[in-house]
Structure 1
Amino acid sequence: MDVRGLDHDGTIAREGALDRVQPAFIPVVDAARSHIAETFGSTRLHSAYLYGSIPRGTATPGVSDLDLQIALHDEPTEADHADAKAIGAALDRDFPQIEGVGILLASVGNLLSELERHDAGFFLACLCTPLLGPDLAAQLPRYRPTSLLARETNGDLARVLPHWRAKAAAAAQAATEADRRRLSRLVGRRTVRTGFTLIMPRWGGWTSDLDQSAELFGRYYPERAERMRTAASIGRVPSPDPAVLGMLIDDLGPWLAAEYTAVHGEKAPRP
């Protein structure tokens, strides 16, 4: 893998590996594997994956969260989501070295579908590390840093912003500080990833590092660079300050959504 995150053939290299997991997080990963296998069993579970800073080897104990993708044989049910939530709660309770657990559920059919080929498919093939079961990446193509990939991964920010505004308004009135921090982390990370994929085809590579993504974005949009650095900062260490969240949702966000649509177009609608 070169400095732009590409393999020798110019396709995006898969990031992360189990042997990069730092010692502090090995017990967390082992427990996650056991919980998933015991909860879903072979009848429901096809495979499970890690993603984020833990398999990349860049996690910070007490700050980083644990991110998991679970692929089921069939479409996830309410019971499946409840089971995943219970797994997340147990891991978060038992391991102080993580700050929260995020678990994505999807069916094999959805992950391999043509509609998801350049979104969920790319995510699994390039950003996820196999943890349990057969690796679905073997059934997906190799990806390049193209405008098509940019559009299908993050070309829906304009649709997401109203939802963020509603959650931010509710959080300002009734949510706990922990809820506001979780929201700011979500918004910060998604904003940086959208900013990076906006310039990804011009830069010609891939990174998931928030700080690097913000700095690369700033090369092409220097007038917005400081705001994007703020987004990267709260993506790593979330802030309960509503003014920071407001800046991202009501200032940087609308501009970024409009620029993204102008450059790459809008993501294909999902059912």
Structure 2
Amino acid sequence: MEHRGLDAYGYFEREGSLGQVQVEFRGLVAAARERIAEAYGHRLHSAYLYGSVPRGTARPGWSDLDLLIALHHEPSGEDRDTAEVLARGLDEDFAEIDGVGLLLHSKDQVLSEAERFDFGWFVACLCTPLLGADLAEHLPRYRPDSLLARETNGDLADLLPAWRAKAQSASTPEEYRKLSRLFSRRLVRTGFTLVMPRWGGWTSDLVESAEVFGQYYPERAAQMRAAASAALDPVEDPAVLRGYVEDLGPWLADEYTARHGTKTPRPPL
């Protein structure tokens, strides 16, 4: 039987581990651990890696480093400034990565009831512990069901107006590349979670996600494959962005709402 990221009981297996980090990125991960501890000290509850680096699929010089930091308290403006400095320093000091994404939240927010099937699931299933006590110990186990689909990506319709504004205001190749990466990643992941309960499993691989989606929506398969390609190698074509916000995005949002409903409103993270 195909594994599909689940254990024998149908629950998510946590993806990634420090043991899967490729040799090219081990110095970076060690530096991140040291710098996070130094920057936040006693304010830090825990820190995590996620994305391609702990999955062992990162591409030197192409992939970014994704970090999540959970503090004992709500992050202050100073805490967020520290995060920006930390991310910028890692990006500048390590040519192995192309950018650092850093999420900064309080442990109470991660463990809140409102975030149980979104951010909590993300930490418990997609994040690799790097520092501190693992918050996953306080979270339930998860299955790839419609509730999870709704609460993770059932807000695409709410994002589209801002996406359209960003696409219209972009004017440089670098801006187009940045937006094509951002939009395409979200569209592919949303396309995958749309069909996740029917497929009965999990993958973070964007190419595989697009292929799984295409099994259920063959008429949109080519568009999703192209989006997966742009997520990995961003494009500079503004027509691609227009296609996302005028065609694929609105269709996907409508189909998602029809099948899973809309994400429960909550305070912003």
Q: Same fold (TM over 0.5)?
A: yes
Structure 1 residues 158-212: Cα deviation after superposition (integer angstroms, max 9, x where no partner): 001111111122222xxx4333322211111110000000000000001100000
Which residue of structure 1 aligns with residue 105 of structure 2? 106
Partner of 1:194: 190
Letter in 1 for 2:82: D
Q: Do structure 1's residue 219 and structure 2's residue 215 form an aligned pair?
A: yes
TM normalised by structure 1 equals 0.96
The gaps in structure 2 that reach 5 residues or longer are none
Q: What is the TM-score with the length of structure 2 in the denominator?
A: 0.97
Which of 245, 259, 262 is matched with 1:263 structurally? 259
Match of 2:181 among 178, 182, 185: 185
- Could you list the per-position Cα deviations for residues 199-253 of structure 1 after superposition, in whole angstroms to 9, with x for gaps in the alignment? 0000000110000000000000000001101111111111121111221121100
Counting matched residue pairs gives 267
1:54 Cα shift?
Answer: 0.5
Note the C-alpha offset of 1:77.
1.6
Aligned counterparts of 1:103 and 1:163: Cα–Cα separation in 2: 21
Amino acid at match of 1:36: I
State the AA in 1 paired with 2:104.
Answer: L
Q: Given the alignment of the two structures, is residue 230 of structure 1 paired with residue 230 of structure 2, yes or no?
A: no
Q: Which amino acid aligns with 1:140?
A: L
Residues 15-49 of structure 1: CA deviation (Å, up to 9, x unaligned):
0000100011111111111111111112x110000
Q: Which residue number in structure 2 is paired with residue 6 of structure 1?
A: 6
Matches within 5 A, 1:1-271: 3-42=3-42, 44-172=43-171, 176-271=172-267
Distance in 1, matches of 2:237 and 2:34, equals: 37
**Which moved further from structure 2: 78-87 or 250-259?**
78-87
CA shift in 2, pair 1:34/1:177, >3 Å: farther
What is the CA-CA distance between 1:75 and the residue it aligns to? 1.1
Show CA shifts across 1:86-136 (max 9, x none): 111111111111011000011111100110000000000000000000000
CA RMSD of aligned residues (A): 1.2
CA–CA separation in structure 2 for the residues paired with 1:177 and 1:45: 38
What fraction of aligned residue pairs are identical, expressed as a percent?
65
